[in-house]
Each structure stands twice: as structure tokens, then as C-alpha cells.
Structure 1
Amino acid sequence: MGGLGLFLYGMNLMGEGLQKSAGTRLKAIIKLLTSNIFMGVLVGTGVTAVIQSSSATTVMVVGFVNAGIMTLKQAIGVIMGANIGTTVTAQLVSFNLNGMAPVALGIGIVLYLFGKNPKVKHISEILIGFGMLFTGMEFMKDAVEPLRDYKGFTDMLVSFGQYPILGLLLGFGITAIVQSSSASMGMLVALAAEGLIPLNAALPILYGQNIGTCVTSLLSSIGANKNAKRAAVIHLIFNVLGTVLFLIFLNKPVVSLVTGMDPGNVARQIANTHTLFNIISVLILLPFNNIIIKMAMRIIPDKAEDEEDIKTVKYIDDKMLEIPSIALINTIKETYRMGNKAKESLDCSISAIIEKSDEYLGKVFVKEETVNELQKIILNYLLKLSKTAALDEDSREAVDNLFNTVNDIERIGDHAKNIAELSQIMIDGDLEFSEQGKNQLEEIYNYVISAYSSALEAFKNDDINLAYKVFRIEEKVDMMEKTCRASHMYRLNNNLCSIDNGVVFLDIITALERVSDHAVNIAKRVIAQKKHFVE
């Protein structure tokens, strides 16, 4: 248990160090996912090799599909690639690198204690993780060594070669419990290294491990939408089909190949079989990707009575915190979506004023509730993201700015609600603005909504030119506010409007001007962040 604990922690630490070293380059890697299925396989392989976990990659894929930013066609390629990427760990632990473990630990700890540069710290984490991984492996080998003299145990392991279904179930069970095929593969390699298990008995366990690793992605799809569930099922179908192919047709030729490559080393034979299993499965099943997708859609069918899943959030998901740079991108998308909800609320509030409509009034309050809910969810998510160790300095500044932007958008939603409440006063009191008052209200609103829309687009696209445009519009809003107040005083002095009308009119103008101020706040952060990155 101690050896397994060290192995898992070392693998996790090494993966985190590699991920931090990759930094924001992972953003560019994920963008390649939109290319085609072959690029998806390459990206899935690369990302899994970096984060050292096919389960983490497939969980993220489920999250991406759930957020609607990846199609099933793209997902299947990444899932297949993840299965190849996970063989890196098995290959690594199958070599006898125990002598390097103390050296890696020693160098890693010295670098960690005395290194000031973040890049040096990341390298030290990779080395410490590497050292712990192999120390844990050595612990497991030492722990199972006495079992060589226990005939009951060795006979049980050998029997898995005669009854492959039992081996499959054992491999599936261990991996489902440990939640890591790399960890269960490490245990298998430890047994093989001590001569406790022959290759023919190890292979059914290995195939079972490939199916067991699907449990993590299946669990992660609980509560997700249909396509996310289908992505998890695709992972299961792919591994089951690969296992069937190998058990029935490819077992003997692969055994002959790996034993010829490393005649006396069962640990290397197991690692090579694991790699060949995944590469050959991808090569054979990749051309049938559309059939696999259709099978998943049959298992998780569309129901005629089902409507589109309506959820408060669309893009953010805790599963994506595994890669903070991607989580940040999706939080920006969710914040932009929240901004559009606030804009819709603002539109409805002005329509309620102009048309004195109860229907628009009701929409404002519904949308305002959504904006408030989104604020809570996004801020909680940002708090989790800010605590992620793998977040680089630039991303941390972006997270800090997002906290403020989310609050600005929520305040805009509040102003929309305030305007809606003023429209309720107008409807209840049967108040009416003069024609000039209505025209001025529409004019200042057009400036305000233009400033806010430009701020949102600048925020979404990191567009400094649009951000500066907000300042120019804000000047017009300020001038228009003064004009509206002066015109109102003229109408009031000449008995062209009532005091009640005037109070409502001035409150609306004030609320709109404050919306414009919040748009400027959003634009300022876009400019400040852009300048920081340039520097």
C-alpha cells in the first residue's frame, strides 16, 4: 500500500510538473482539436503523455463535450489518442531505472529548496515525481517478492492464463477501484519483475485494466448532457472492442512478437503488449469511428419528448480544472455569456419602459435571477481556479481581472432590474413620457448599449481597439446625460411633464450612465492586461 501510494503521488507530481512546464502552450494544443480526427489522436496522445493519465484526459473530453466546445467526432480521436499516451508510464516503469531514482530525488529536492525561478521549480517537481514513482515501484516489488514461495498465490496467477475471463474481471476491478490504469499496470509490472506471473496470465489482466479505466470517465458523465454521456460510452466501446479483437484474433501474434523482442523480460513484454494493444486498436478501429459514434447514440438515444438541456452554466466544469489554462478560456466564455444575459435583461427593461409592457417586465426579473446565479457559480469556480498550483503568473492576473469583470456585469444586471422596477411604477401609475423624453431616452440607451457591447467584445477577443472605443462612447453618454437633465428641467418649468414622470426619467438616466461606467471598467481591464502582456 505504501509503494502504491508513493507510485500514485510520484506519477501525479511528475504530471503536474510537466503540465506547468508546458504552461499556456496547452491552449494552442487544444485549438488543434478542431482540425480533424487524426489530429485529435495526436493531441490526445500528447496531452496524456504530459499529464500522465488517460483518465484525466477522457474526463476533460467529457467536460469539453458537455460544454459544447467539442463534437463527438473530435472527442473520439482524442479518446483513442489518450489510450496510446497512457502507455508511456507503463513503458517507463518496465525499465530497471531504480538506480536513477535516488539521483533524481536528490537533484529534484536541491533544485526545489534553492531554485528561485518558477521554471526551475517545475523541473524539480518532475524529477521528484520521477524519483518517487520508481521508489514506489521498488517498494511494490519488495512487498510481493516473498509471495514467490507461496504456491497458492503463484498457482492463482497462472490460472488466469487458463481462465482469461477471471483475469479480465480482476484487471477491471483493480483499475476501477484505484481509478488509474497506470497504477494497476505498475502493480502488474511489479509482479512480473519478481517472476510471479507469466505473460499469458498477465495479458487478460492487462486487457481488463483497459476496460476498468473507463469507469472514471463514465462516473464523470453522471449529471452531464447526452453528448457528454456518449463520449464516455465511446471510451468504453473502444476499449471493449479492442479487448475482444485481441482475445480472439491477435493474442498469439502479439505474444510471439513481444517475446521475440525481449525473450527473458516479462515486465518489458507486458509494457510492449500494452503499447501494441492500444496502437493496433486505434489503427483498426479509427476507420470505423462513425460506427462507434452511432453505437454510442444507440446506447444513449435521443428521446422525442426531451428538450434541449437548459442549464445555468454552459462552459465551466470542475473536470476542466485538470488543465487550468483551458479552464480559464472556458471561464472567459462563460463570463461573456453572462454579459450577454445582462445585456438581454437591459434590452427588456428599456422595452418595458417604452412600451409599458408587463411581458418585458417579467423577462427582466427572470434574466436577472440567471445573472445572479451565474455570478455565484463563476466566482466560486474562479476561487477554485486561483488555488490551482499549475496556474502561471499571467493566468493568475487574468483570474483576478475576471473576478472584477463578473462583478461589473452583475451590477449591470442590477441596474436593468432597477429600470424594470421604475417601469413598474410607470405602469401602475399610468405615467407617460413626452415624445421628446422618449426620443432622448432611446438615444442615450443606444450609446450605452453600444459602449457595453463593445466592452463585451473587447473582453471576449482581447481587442484593445474596441476597448478604447468604449471610452469615446462614454464621453458621448456623459454629454447626453447632461442634455437629458437640462431638457427635463426645461419641460418641468414649462409644465410639459409632471414631477412623478421627471423623477422616474432622471432615475433611468442615472442607471444608464452607471451601466456605461461599468462598461468602461471592463474596457480598462482589457487595456491594462494587454499592456502587461506586451511588457
Structure 2
Amino acid sequence: MELGNIIAVLGAVATFLFGMSTMTDGLEKLSSGRLEQILERLTSNVLKGVLLGAVVTGLIQSSAATTVMCVGFVNAGIMKLEQTVGIIMGANIGTTVTAQLLSLGDISSDNIVLMFLKPSFLGPILAVIGIVFYMFIKGGHKQTIGQIILGLGLLFIGMNTMSTAVAPLQELPEFQAVFTAFSNPFLGVAVGALITALLQSSSASMGILQAISTTGVVTFHIAMPLIMGQNIGTCITALISSIGASRNAKRTAMIHLFFNIIGSVFFLVVLYAGNALFHFPFWANTMSMNSIANLHLAFNVACTALLLPFNRQLVKLVKLVVPGDAEERELSVLDDRFLSSPSLALEKAHDAVVQMGEFSRDNFLLSVELLNKYDPKKLERLNETEVALDKLEELLDNYLVKLTDRALTQEESTKVSELLHTLSDFERIGDYAVNVSESATVLYNRGISFSPEAKGELEQLTAAVGETLDKTIACYQSRQRVLAVQVEPLEEVVDLMADTLKNRHVERLKTGACTVELGTQFLELLINLERISDHCSNVALRIVRQTASKDDKIRIDTHAYMRDLHHGGSNPEFDRLFGQYREKYFTPIAQSPVDP
């Protein structure tokens, strides 16, 4: 084979892969998240999941992308592990659409109408149309549509060029010998899986196989193991995306892998055992682009039909392989149908913000437990909850933005603003809880710890912050002023405790009684705990303001209200509560300085 042919093959593969990537990216952009929303909501049963998985993957042309979506949804707590099984099965069916499009290359050129559907004709036409839309027509989704058309055109051009470039290979004995070696099913599966894993696209590796089939060296018993291997290799993308994710997210990626492995092993045994007994007449038939596409489709449909009745057993299998308890975080439902009734939508949003507060409290408690006794499982659960917290914030942000497009009353607009500020406070509390867990991790990894006295100080401070957080969530959930007014005096005690411990820390550093390494972590903990209580104060203050009378000072000037509260001595209830919390939390640590 001449050097020019080799360069032509490489260039054709590059064009084909770029076309595939361009088209897929355009399809994903055009969906604008709508496909994700469909997957989130319409997976009530496994059959519906299969259909949805096939449709969504058929539209975006990437089973890996659909599976990665599922991994993300499970990781964020939006979708349960069991809901993903049908989607993943359907994704394998949907990804066969590209191969069917590429099989147009087998159309006879005798008919002038059908001739224009061949890649050699259709590719350049689509590329020209696509580049015109992409470069010269602006506005709306026209540029994205142009990207999709251009990508499809490049896909056909690359396929046609590959078919032409590999034609001389059919005369080479070495090339025929390589494909003869693939008659070993294990080698065929391994090569198919490896190539697909490298390309991270079964559609792309299938297209390359279809192009090679034009040489006439690809027979049924060679194509079948390669197709099976391609299905297995495409799982690599989801497996990579699950690294660092929750336990159930890892299980989702494993479902994709096991589904393809079990299906491949089953049909590999059936086909080869059947051929050994009955000598199938089609075993050595030469495969065309069209027959490879149909075989790909038939295999994926057969795998789905085989394993669909065992979807629950598949879930149990991955739970055995990835053992451990996975705490699933189900997020509040924010249905767009509620938007037609702003008052109802606001109530649902309020429930979701309360859930954010509960998530942030859960993570605070976990971070405190990690300080007392480090446990990697608790850290994993904390990280899972943080992902759910971030996802819920994103959902709420988008939901409330949609709500502002409606005709809202002044009171409803004010409520939207309050929700946006409060969800931000709860999200920040979750972030500071993560910071506390990171300090716990540093202490564990470096094999250092605070003295018993310093641990006692932190226990008092974290207990005060914990009560502040409990009262904040309770007052926000019930909108009770009597609970809300208890937060600020407690937050003031937390500030007092943090300032006292910071001053002690500085003195210890001056005298050399504290190491810089321990002191740094101690100071970081004080800062993060104090900031958690600050955000609690923000939330409670909103409730106090909302429930105040119209002539109350907090309604007129919030800053003046806070100044008088802390320095004016004009609020006996505040002074009483401050004294009560000071006695409860500050007095036990106020006696003598200690070393961490």
C-alpha cells in the first residue's frame, strides 16, 4: 500500500471523526437541556425508559452521552438507580441510527433520485448547506442547525473517502490475514472494545467497520465479535464520568458495562455453539455496509429483549459488585406545570429551599463527626449530599427565573427575591461544611490532632453552631417569628466564642505553644464555623422582617435595627436570650486558655 493511500485513510478517518463530533455537539446544543428534563421526568417504568433512551440517543447520536446524563442524575439525587436501567438499554438501540444513515452508501446508482442519497453525493451537498447556515446566517438556532448539517456532511464525506482509500487493501495478503485473525471471537471482541474505548464512540468505530466492509473481507463471523466489542468499549466514557461520583452513580455506569458484557457473552456462546452444531449457512457471508448496520441494530434489540425482564436482577448484581449503603437523595419536585399558578409554584420552591437547608445541616453534622472520628464512608456521603445540594440550587435558580417571566404581584416578586437569597445562604452553608470536612481530612492524612482541651472548645462551638442551624431551618420552614428572633443572640454568642478562640490562638503562636500546622487548621475551622452562623443570621433576619409590623424599625431600616439590637440595649428579649446562650456555650470555655 502506497504512502499516499495511508495518508488518505488517516485523513478520511479524521474527517469522519470530526464530522461525528461536530454533529453530536450540535444535536446536544439544540436540545438545550430539554432532553435531560425528559429523562428526569418520564422514567416511571422500565419500558418507558427503554423508549426514552432510544429516542434521546437517536437524537443526540451518543449512547455514551445518554449514559453520562444518567450517571449525573443519579449522582445528584434526581433519578433513582432503578430508573436508569431502561434508559441505558434503550440508548444501545438509539445509537444504531448513525450506522443506518451510513449504510446509504450501498444504494444503487442506477436510479437518479436514489443516487443523491449516496454519501458521495449527499455529503458535499450537506456540507455546503451546513457551512452557509453556520457562517452566514445568524439568529435563533440557525447556526446550531448549520453545525448539525455540516457535521453530517463531513460524516458522509469521511465515510466515502475511507471507502475509496481502503479499496486497495483488499489486494494485500497481510490485510486479509489481519481480518482472518479476527475470526477468533475473543480477539475480535477485544479489538472492537479497544478501538471504541479509544474513540469513545461506538458509532464512530461502527462507521470505520462499515467503510472497511467495502473491501469484501468482512464476513459475518468476523463482524459479530467486533460489534460486540464495540458495545463494550463505549462504556468507558460513563465509567470515566463516574470517577469521584457517588456509589449509586458508579453503579449506573456499571449497569451499562454489565448489560453489554452479559448480552455479548450470551449471544457469543449461542452463535458459536449453534454454528458448531448446525453450520449456519450465513456464517461466512460477506457483509456490506447495510448488513452490518442491520446486524448492529438486531444485536442491540436482542440484548434488550433478553435482559429487560431481568432489570431488577441487573440492579442487584451491580450492588453486589459495588457494595455498601448508598443514601439516595431525592430532590423536591419543581414541575413547570406549577408555574401557571405562581402561589403554588412559590410554595413548592419554598419546600425545595427548606430541603436545601436540611441538606446543609446534614453535611454540617457529618463534617463535625469527621472532626471527632474520621470515616471515609461519611466523607463519601457528605460529598454525595453536596452534589445534590448544588443540583437543587441550579434547579431552583432556573425555576425561579422562569417564574419571574409570569405576571407576579409585588408580594410574589418579593417572595422570589427572598427565596433566591435564602437558597444562596443555604448553599454557602453547605460549602463551609465541606471546608470543615477538608480540615478533618488534612488532620487525618497528616496524622495530627488537637489536644483534648482544644477538642472540648471545638465541641462547644460546633454545638452552638448546630443549634443556630437547627433554629434557622425551623423558623424558615414554619415562618415563625418566635423562633427567628432566637437566632441572632445565639449567632452573637458564636461570634464571641470564635473571637475569643482566635485571640487565644494568636497568643499561642507568639509563645510557640502551638504548631503552625495545627494552628492553621484550627483557625480555618473557626472562620468556617463563624461564617455558617452568619448565613443563619441572614435567613432568620428575613423571617423577622417578613413577620414584623409595618412600623417596626426592621421594616424601615434593617441596619439601624441590627445596630440597636447589638449595641443599644433596647431589646430585653435579645439581652435575655444572649445571656442564656452565653451561659450555655461560652462560659464553659471562658475560664482558661488551652493549647490545640
TM interval, short-chain normalised: 0.5 to 0.7
Counterparts of 1:425-436 in structure 2, within 5 Å, are none
Partner Cα separation in structure 2 for residue 197 and residue 487 of structure 1: 80
Q: Secondary structure at the match of 2:166?
A: helix
Aligned to 1:224: 245
Question: Shift of the alpha carbon at 1:9?
Answer: 2.2
Spell out, residue by residue over 1:162-200, the C-alpha distance to the aligned partner (whole angstroms, 9 max, x if none). x21111111111112221111111111111023232232
> Which of 105, 108, 111 in structure 1 is aligned with 2:133?
111
Q: Compute the TM-score of the two structures, normalised by the length of structure 2.
A: 0.57
| Cα distance change of structure 1 residues 295 and 425 upon mapping to structure 2, 3 Å threshold | closer
Counterparts of 1:190-209 in structure 2, within 5 Å, are 190-209=211-230
Aligned to 1:82: 91
Q: Secondary structure at the match of 1:89?
A: helix
Aligned to 2:485: none
Count of matched residue positions in the alignment of Structure 1 and Structure 2: 408
Confirm whether residue 16 of structure 1 aligns to residue 25 of structure 2: yes
Gaps of 5+ in 1: 316-331, 349-358, 363-369, 387-392, 430-444, 453-469, 506-535
Question: Shift of the alpha carbon at 1:258?
Answer: 8.6
Aligned to 1:513: none
| Cα distance change of structure 1 residues 410 and 58 upon mapping to structure 2, 3 Å threshold | closer
Partner Cα separation in structure 2 for residue 494 and residue 113 of structure 1: 68
Question: Shift of the alpha carbon at 1:129?
Answer: 0.8
Question: Shift of the alpha carbon at 1:63?
Answer: 1.8
Q: Is the 8 A contact 1:49 1:88 kept in 2?
A: yes
Question: Shift of the alpha carbon at 1:221?
Answer: 2.0
| Cα distance change of structure 1 residues 213 and 271 upon mapping to structure 2, 3 Å threshold | same
Question: Shift of the alpha carbon at 1:497?
Answer: 6.5
Paired letter, 2:14: G
Q: Is the 8 A contact 2:219 2:286 kept in 1?
A: no
Paired letter, 1:340: G
Q: Is the 8 A contact 1:448 1:474 kept in 2?
A: no
Gaps of 5+ in 2: 1-9, 106-118, 332-348, 373-381, 406-416, 433-464, 470-487, 500-535, 580-596
Partner Cα separation in structure 1 for residue 302 and residue 14 of structure 2: 32
Q: Is the 8 A contact 2:356 2:423 kept in 1?
A: no
Aligned to 2:203: 182
| Cα distance change of structure 1 residues 240 and 428 upon mapping to structure 2, 3 Å threshold | closer
Aligned to 2:177: 155
Aligned to 2:316: 294
Spell out, residue by residue over 1:41-95, the C-alpha distance to the aligned partner (whole angstroms, 9 max, x if none). 0111111111211111112212222222222221111110010011111111122
> Which of 172, 176, 190 in structure 1 is aligned with 2:193?
172
Report percent identity of matched pairs: 37
Counterparts of 1:274-285 in structure 2, within 5 Å, are 274-285=296-307
Spell out, residue by residue over 1:339-382, the C-alpha distance to the aligned partner (whole angstroms, 9 max, x if none). 5269869x99xxxxxxxxxx9xx9xxxxxxx99x979x969x98
Question: Shift of the alpha carbon at 1:114?
Answer: 2.5
Partner Cα separation in structure 2 for residue 411 and residue 165 of structure 1: 50
Question: Shift of the alpha carbon at 1:208?
Answer: 1.1
Aligned to 2:451: none
| Cα distance change of structure 1 residues 341 and 288 upon mapping to structure 2, 3 Å threshold | closer
Partner Cα separation in structure 1 for residue 68 and residue 133 of structure 2: 33
Aligned to 1:26: 35
Paired letter, 1:220: S
Q: Is the 8 A contact 1:6 1:132 kept in 2?
A: yes
Aligned to 1:72: 81
Partner Cα separation in structure 1 for residue 266 and residue 570 of structure 2: 89
Q: Is the 8 A contact 2:353 2:423 kept in 1?
A: no
Paired letter, 1:73: E
Q: Is the 8 A contact 1:55 1:214 kept in 2?
A: yes
Partner Cα separation in structure 1 for residue 322 and residue 564 of structure 2: 65
Partner Cα separation in structure 1 for residue 241 and residue 22 of structure 2: 22
Confirm whether residue 248 of structure 1 aligns to residue 273 of structure 2: no
Paired letter, 2:199: V
Aligned to 1:422: 492
Question: Shift of the alpha carbon at 1:314?
Answer: 9.8
Counterparts of 1:14-413 in structure 2, within 5 Å, are 14-23=23-32, 25-96=34-105, 97-161=119-183, 163-250=184-271, 266-302=288-324, 336=353, 340=357, 408-409=424-425
| Cα distance change of structure 1 residues 104 and 334 upon mapping to structure 2, 3 Å threshold | farther
Paired letter, 2:493: S
Spell out, residue by residue over 1:2-57, the C-alpha distance to the aligned partner (whole angstroms, 9 max, x if none). 32332222122222333333345325422443311111101111111112111111
Q: Secondary structure at the match of 1:117?
A: coil
| Cα distance change of structure 1 residues 138 and 256 upon mapping to structure 2, 3 Å threshold | farther
Partner Cα separation in structure 1 for residue 185 and residue 316 of structure 2: 29
Question: Shift of the alpha carbon at 1:102?
Answer: 0.6
Q: Is the 8 A contact 2:196 2:205 kept in 1?
A: yes
Q: Is the 8 A contact 1:230 1:296 kept in 2?
A: yes
Q: Is the 8 A contact 1:258 1:269 kept in 2?
A: no
Q: Is the 8 A contact 1:199 1:269 kept in 2?
A: no
Q: Compute the TM-score of the two structures, normalised by the length of structure 1.
A: 0.63
Partner Cα separation in structure 1 for residue 253 and residue 160 of structure 2: 34
Paired letter, 2:256: H
Comparing 140-149 with 39-48, greater Cα deviation is found at: 140-149
Question: Shift of the alpha carbon at 1:225?
Answer: 2.3
Paired letter, 1:95: L
Q: Secondary structure at the match of 1:34?
A: coil
CA root-mean-square deviation: 5.2
Partner Cα separation in structure 1 for residue 249 and residue 292 of structure 2: 32
Q: Is the 8 A contact 2:216 2:287 kept in 1?
A: no
Partner Cα separation in structure 2 for residue 165 and residue 307 of structure 1: 35
Q: Is the 8 A contact 1:49 1:86 kept in 2?
A: yes
Partner Cα separation in structure 2 for residue 168 and residue 249 of structure 1: 15
Question: Shift of the alpha carbon at 1:146?
Answer: 2.4
Q: Is the 8 A contact 1:158 1:198 kept in 2?
A: no
Q: Is the 8 A contact 1:174 1:184 kept in 2?
A: yes
Partner Cα separation in structure 2 for residue 73 and residue 101 of structure 1: 41
Q: Is the 8 A contact 2:356 2:427 kept in 1?
A: no
Q: Secondary structure at the match of 1:287?
A: helix
Question: Shift of the alpha carbon at 1:128?
Answer: 0.3
Confirm whether residue 6 of structure 1 aligns to residue 11 of structure 2: no
Partner Cα separation in structure 1 for residue 564 and residue 156 of structure 2: 81
Question: Shift of the alpha carbon at 1:98?
Answer: 2.3
